[in-house]
Chains A and B, each alone.
Chain A
Amino acid sequence: MKIEMRDIYKAFGQNKVLEGVDFDLEPGEVHALMGENGAGKSTLMNILTGLHKQDKGTVKINGVETVFKNSLEAERSGLAFIRQELNIWPEMTVLENLFIGRELTNAFGVLKTKEMQKIASDIFKTLNISLPFDKEAGFCSVGEQQMIEIAKALMTDAEVIIMDEPTAALTDREIEKLFEIMKELTAKGVSLVYISHRMEEIFAICDRITVMRDGKTVDTTPIPETSFEEVVKKMVGRELEDRFPHREAKPGETVLEIKELSRKGVFNYVNMSVRRGEILGVAGLMGAGRTEIMRALFGVDQADSGEVFIEGKKVSIRQPIDAVKHGLAFITENRKDEGLILDFSVRENIGLPNLGSFAPNGIVKANEEKQFVEMMVKRLSVKTASPETIIGNLSGGNQQKVVIAKWIGTSPKVLIMDEPTRGIDVGAKREIYELMNELTERGLAIIMVSSELPEVLGMSDRILVIHEGKIAGELGRQEATQEKIMALATGGN
């Protein structure tokens, strides 16, 4: 399918989102769509797939001007959009998910399960996926859920598949698998639009790249003719210094020590310690138990055994409030689900873990809270119209800054950051790295769990690699390389 989008304009109320965007898609190509959060990528794709209607401009499909009435019509015409938030019914089986809304039935409305299984197994075969049909989708890994979505798209005979941040939650092995599938798809003539913030992947898999900035197309270039630096420059509209700021750590005494922490079936006998002013990177494959260790440390889940020492004193952490009282702070991997209250304003979110200090006797001192929040917003340069703006309206990067702000307010000794820059654009990432440096300079200890190896290598003073619930090894900043980390993470040595 050949797609030409010309001079697309779109505004939501006063908010001009697209101001003259051009975008082309050739049959069988992988076309990267890049741009900072809020550049208009999603809106453009939503117009292409019929969710929104453009105010101006034309969309031609195979040379014919087309306006879809709704997403369903676009889907029937062969355009599939796999969103970042996967469209999965967790309580239903893999097979039920594959056929949701278009189940095959006989004349009496009875499901034709055999036939559906046959179709599904054919699709799985072409994609080289093995997944039991009767497994509940909620028990599938994110990678497997994505495979279900891709299979679903193929079952509708999609000729164009748009993927929004498909690898954000995938392990390296799953990413490899995804890339294989993508290659098979393009060989069949399917075109792919690949929206991602991960430069390495784009250069590995894509044929062309379109960069968007502030609702406009900057340009479209074949991948071999451009470079990492050039793309970043186009995206942010300026030269970006190195991706990671210079880091000079002077670790002090040990502030947190974990001994023999275990949770049955999840992680075993984990020992780790972190010092003042240090960033401890925690790497490993998805599902290795990194997040689970942090959750147990913070009292979100219960550990079965083990001890935690803070500044040499043994502490008991049964629930998050205990952890907060002992000077721990936890930035979870999923800010919308566990980090923020989306209906709350910026002020209320930042205030939440700090109510103890604004409301010592239960009555909220509104002025103190306001001043504190304004100070935090300024210090972290959160881009928000006002502290009263509802947090759900901010971009991902700014939401993440608010999560950080709310925890810094509690003056923690140890800050646990789980995937601190997931789904955040390049410019905001750099700001968060700089903030991490500033915090450690003031003596804060940071434990950073991350799936992005460049980030682990660029920011950590020391790296722990987790493999299947155990610490597989420790690497110093100087000796660590991607290869060494991956070897440990996959159980090699």
Chain B
Amino acid sequence: MSTTEERLAAQKRLKYEKAGLDAIDDRLGSSGFLQKALDKIFPDHWSFMVGEIAMYCFVVLLITGVYLALYYVPSASDIVYHPTPGHGYMPLAGQHMSEAYKSVLDITFNVRAGLIMRQMHHWAAVVFMAAIAFHLCRIFFTGAFRRPRETNWVIGLLLLLSVMLEGFSGYSLPDDLLSGTGLRVVFSIVESIPFIGSWLAFDLWGSAYPGSALIPRLFVVHEFLFPLAILGLLTVHLMIIWRQKHTDFPGPGKTETNIRGSRLWPQYAIKSGALLMVVSGVLAALGGLFQINPIWLYGPYNPFTVSAGAQPDWYVGWLDGSVRLWPHWEFRSFGHEIANPFFPGILVPGIVFTLMFAWPQIDRWIYKDHAAHNLLDRPRDKPFRTAVGVGALAFFTDLTLASGTDILGNDLHIPFERLIEILQYGVFVAPLVAGAIAYKACQALQRTGTHPIMKPVGGVLIRTADGAYHTLGDDHGGHDGNGHANGHDGNGHAVDGHAVDGHAVDGHAVDGDGSAHNPEEDITEPAVGGAGPGDA
């Protein structure tokens, strides 16, 4: 196959390559690091890519954001809009509006390719938060936050907070009717904080609501403060992952002390680059084909004007829902009052985030598990944690639904009064029910040993009409007669320690060495198994 010329060419290429590397190494001494980096192994389960999706959304946000920032005018000063036919949005001709709003109209209608950039930017933010939320769930349900990765859990949550605030500040910049209404609500929430509320609100807004200082300040916050925070936190996040190496799901041949996957170069890097392309492509498709935030239809903001269906972007929806569902309580005494928005707008998210930050500690306390882990939990093996997670998701879903009560009520033909009442009960009932179902489901899954969506590792067990057992999908079905039959028939095994350990009997099918174990051996092995050859 390889001719002499090919071999010579290959040698030549290698020569140039080495010359290039030498040139760099002579200056930086970087070859050691480079080799380690290029050879670094990354487990490449698909669910580990979601964090990357988030990161690439951020890349798209940075690029489109720079483009938008070149045209955006962060000013609340009042001007009159004078579009010309074909250049601008005629139905707003002659209206008073802020310069900020006008500049976004210009980006939309006058700047060529401005609208695609703006819409890609907004869709990227929406998908960014979706990816972060999914990533967070993956970390939570698989126990990836356990020692030694608690720090990265905290950094991840700080990232979540920064991105939420970044998203909200960006949503507010166009100064349209919808976002202005959102800012009015935020002003009220800040104002409701005991002791310092009104002073803090005036410091943030610069004066009484609405003032003219907020838009330029939000611009600084959105263009500089939070992007920098996100960039910094993201860097640390990745450095820690690099240092600690990625976790992996348990599987054949995987132990706490080894790592399996593809090397950074070329597989992982190129596929990751491909993911950046795919993320950009999907965001471009959304940005071009699906209209998001048509501010020209909402009109410029006026403090005395409002549109029905006022909502924040989806990731702030749970907070808006919390504000809608909280009962009409206020506390007034001694000449002071704690106004209603404080509880759902400050206290609820405060408690939620405190619990989230504290979860690694709580988890350690619940499971009395202080060990370091590199292999992930299967969610079913930690039914309580899974139940808590599912309950939290139900809680967030309930609140997010609540932020769309007016729209949902119309679609479902339920008066919003009734819907709000249902969701108020739902805040308590839904997490409990969902958690209980999740708990039971975990237990049931432990017993069956199968995965709800994937085929079990190593093959499928089939019982034939005459009572014999076969496994499909692997090449050593010969030894599975007794052990597998016992494990799977559910008689007595369903409740013993065997099942609770979460050892799918299917594991035998992938033993690889063909040795047959009986289930009783399996129960004792974890205790004596130790850390593998190294411990022996």
Are A and B physically bound partners?
no
B binding-site residues for A, Cβ under 8 Å: none
A binding-site residues for B, Cβ under 8 Å: none
